[in-house]
Structure 1
Amino acid sequence: MYLKRPAAGLSFCLFYLASYFTNKYVLSVLKFTYPTLFQGWQTLIGGLLLHISWKLGWVEISICSRSDILSWLPASAFFVGIIYAGSRALSRLPIPVFLTVHNAAEVVTCGFQKFVQKEQASFLKIC
C-alpha cells in the first residue's frame, strides 16, 4: 500500500521520459520527415487506450453534441500546430534543453494566472 502512489508516479515519469527519448531518436537519428504522422499515431493509441478505459469503466466520458465538438475545432487545429512545432524543436534541441523550455511554459502560465489575473491556485492544483 505504501509503494502504490510512488510506483504510479515513478511509472509515469519513466514512460514520460521514454516517450521523449523515443521521439528524439525517431526524429533525429532516423531522420523521420513526417513528425506529425508519428505524433498522430501516438495520439491514436492514446485515444484507443482511453476508449478501452471507458469500456472497462475506469474513466467516465459524457456524450457531446455536434456543436460542442465543432467548438473544439479551432483548438484542435492549434494543437496540431503545437505538435508540429514541438517535433521540430525536439529534433533540433538536446533533450534537457527541450524539456526545460517545454516545462517552463507551465511556470509562465501559472505566473500569469497568479500575478496578472490575480487567481488564487489551490495547493492541489499546483502539485
Structure 2
Amino acid sequence: MYLKRPAGGLAFCLFYLASCFTNKYVLSVLKFTYPTLFQGWQTLVGGLLLHVSWKLGWVEINLCSRSEILSWLPASVLFVGIIYAGSRALSRLPIPVFLTVHNAAEVITCGFQKFVQKEQTSYLKVCR
C-alpha cells in the first residue's frame, strides 16, 4: 500500500488548511468578536469526537491520576493563551502571512532544541 503513508499526511494538511480558512472566515468576514468561544466550541467538538473514538475502540486513552493532571495545568493555561493569540492574529493578518509566522514558530522551537538543549528533534530525524 504505497499511498497509505502520504494519504494520512495529505489529509492532515487539508484539514489544517480547511480549519485555517474556516477560522479566518468566521473571525474576519462574519466579524465574530469572541474568538475564545469559537475555539472553545471547536475544542469541545474535538474532545467529543475523541471520546466517541475511545468508546468505539479506535484510540486508546490511559487514565491519569489527579497529580498527573494537575502537573499539566500550567501548560493548559499557556495553551489557552496561544489559542487566543492565534485567533487574534488570524483575524487581523492575511492567511499566507499567518501561516508563515505560525510555522516559523516550529522552526524556532526546533532550533532551540537542537542548539540550546543539544537534543536530536523528530523534525531533524525526518530530514536526514
TM-score (norm 1): 0.91
Post-superposition Cα deviations, 1:67-93, rounded to whole Å, max 9, x if no partner, equal 221222221111111111000000000
Deviates further, 1-10 or 103-112: 1-10
The equivalent of 1:108 in structure 2 is 108
Give distance in 1, aligned partners of 2:2 and 2:119: 34
Shift of 1:5: 2.2
Cα deviation 1:21-41 (Å, max 9, x = unaligned): 000000000000110010001
Q: Percent identity?
A: 89
* Structural mapping, 1:50-69, within 5 Å: 50-69=50-69
Count of aligned positions: 127
Report the Cα offset of residue 123 of structure 1: 6.4
After the TM superposition, which residues 11-22 of structure 1 pair with which residues of structure 2 at under 5 Å, given as runs? 11-22=11-22
> Is the CA contact 2:110–2:123 (under 8 Å) kept in the aligned structure 1?
no
Query: In the alignment, what sits opposite 1:87?
Result: 87
Q: Which amino acid aligns with 1:56?
A: L
Query: With structure 2 as the length reference, what TM-score do the two structures score?
Result: 0.90
**Cα distance in 2 between the residues matched to 1:91 and 1:5:** 33
Query: Separation in 1 of the partners of 2:35 and 2:58?
Result: 31
Aligned equivalent of 1:5:
5
* Secondary structure of 1:63 counterpart: coil
* Closer, same or farther: CA 84–101 of 1 in aligned 2, 3 Å: same
RMSD (Å), alpha carbons:
1.7
Which has the higher mean CA deviation after the structures are superposed, 56-65 or 95-104?
56-65
Shift of 1:65: 1.3
Query: What's the CA shift string for 1:38-73, capped at 9, x where partnerless?
Result: 000111111111111211222211111112212222
Amino acid at match of 1:97: V
Shift of 1:122: 5.0
Question: Which residue number in structure 1 is paired with residue 70 of structure 2?
Answer: 70
